[in-house]
Amino acid sequence: MLALTKKYGEKRAFVTGAAMGLGKSFCKHLARDGWTIGMSDVNTEQLEQAADEIRTLGGTPILFSLDVSDRQRYEEVADIFLERVGGIDLLVNNAGVGDGAAFHEYSLENWDWMIGINQMGVLYGCHFFVPTFMKQKFGHIINIASAAGYANAPRMSPYNMTKAAVISLSESLYYELKPLGINVSVVMPTFIRTDIMQHARGSEEAIKAGRKLLQKTKLLPDDAVKEMLVKAGKGKLEIVLPRQSRVSYWVKRHFPWLFRRTLSNLAAQQIERAEKRNKA
């Protein structure tokens, strides 16, 4: 049994991006402990399929069609969920998209799209549920960020910026809400084998490289989420995984000059490859 299950007897969770990947894995782990789960996603067909699996595992799914960048719809969904179950014990702001491109190649329309989902979607989730958490004086928020939020690798500026914002928001909320009995965790993983780049809009080269890295990783969503929930249950603010992410996080904090040199070299290599392609 999860530590969060023991702590929150009513077992009420709301998860965004719940139809697949990390979101679905969160729901599966919670379902085994009999949680009632507000499962939201833009893909209603896959959400229905995921809900069947959650019921089989012992959970009680409540389904919502939700684009997390739609503020009005998110408010409606949060109100319906809270009225139906009477409160919330766990919020998982998971929905997100991955993308990559050189800064000058990424259109402002794409920036709006990325910020709307990765940054504002998390903000909306916190905004609409935090008042209930504060009234209850208990509960837990898990925000899914990324190692990109502290690494800031080249040709990933839109994704980097939105995930850095999630880290910053999570840390701010941690200090504000902890004295009220509410915990906040922010997850900063490197690559997990998910479909996060299925809607990518950036450069063909960056998308191809990102998808290749996702397929090469051995870290699967179920294994990653298990570690996330265990560490969240221990009250951890920063959840950095796997080992590769923990090493890079440590190096940046203690040897920033080495970290910067490594990424500067990477950027130079990317520019060189781009110039060769343009000449070909």
- The CATH superfamily of 3-253 is NAD(P)-binding Rossmann-like Domain (3.40.50.720)
Q: Residues 169, 172, 175, CA angle at the centre, nearest 5°?
A: 150
Closest CA to 162 of 236, 246, 261, 95: 95
Q: Which two tokens stand for residue 98?
A: 């991955």
Least confident of 20-29, 97-106, 173-182: 97-106
Q: What is the mean pLDDT of residues 252-260?
A: 87
Residue with tokens 């922010």: 186
pTM for the model:
0.88
Distance CA 147, CA 241 (A): 9
Residues 234 and 3 sit within 8 Å (Cβ to Cβ)? yes
Distance of CA 167 to the CA centre of its chain: 10
Residue 213 has pLDDT above 80, yes or no: no
Q: Which residues are catalytic?
A: 159
Residue with tokens 């919670």: 30
Q: What does the mean pLDDT of the chain come to?
A: 90
Q: What is the mean pLDDT of residues 13-36?
A: 97
Residue 204 has pLDDT above 80, yes or no: no
Residue 172 has pLDDT above 70, yes or no: yes
Residue 274 has pLDDT above 60, yes or no: yes
- Write down the H helix ranges in the chain: 3-7, 21-31, 44-57, 71-85, 108-114, 121-136, 148-151, 157-177, 204-216, 221-233, 243-254, 256-279
Task: Give 174-185 as a DSSP string.
Answer: HHHHGGGTEEEE
**In the chain, where the domains are located:** 3-253
Least confident of 79-93, 159-173, 195-209: 195-209
